[in-house]
Amino acid sequence: MLGNILLGIVSFCTFISYFPQTVKLIKTKKSEDLSIQSWGLWVTSSFSYTLYAIFVSKDGMLIFETCLELFFCLIILILAVIYRKNK
């Protein structure tokens, strides 16, 4: 029970932390201040954590949270690359 509550808090904080960056990228279409290498590492880390959640933990809430994190990391990385190419 406590674990699910804490994981819910983590999921909410994850959404809140990545969402503003995603919205700002979409609105401004500027990604010069973002490190593509760092976001690539975040994607790798999130992907690894998602695989752990799926194959080892098998906890539905953890899988959801890690997929959410991976989704936002991928979106930010993809938008950063696209906007740099279009500059």
User: For 18-55, what is each residue's pLDDT tens digit?
Assistant: 889 899 999 999 988 889 999 999 999 999 999 999 99
Torsion region of 67: left, alpha or beta (phi above 0 gives left; psi -120 to 50 gives alpha): alpha
Domain positions in the chain: 2-85
Q: How far apart are CA 5 and CA 75, in angstroms?
A: 27
Q: Which pLDDT belongs to residue 74?
A: 96
Q: Which CATH architecture has domain 2-85?
A: Up-down Bundle (1.20)
pTM: 0.85
Percent of the chain with pLDDT over 70: 100
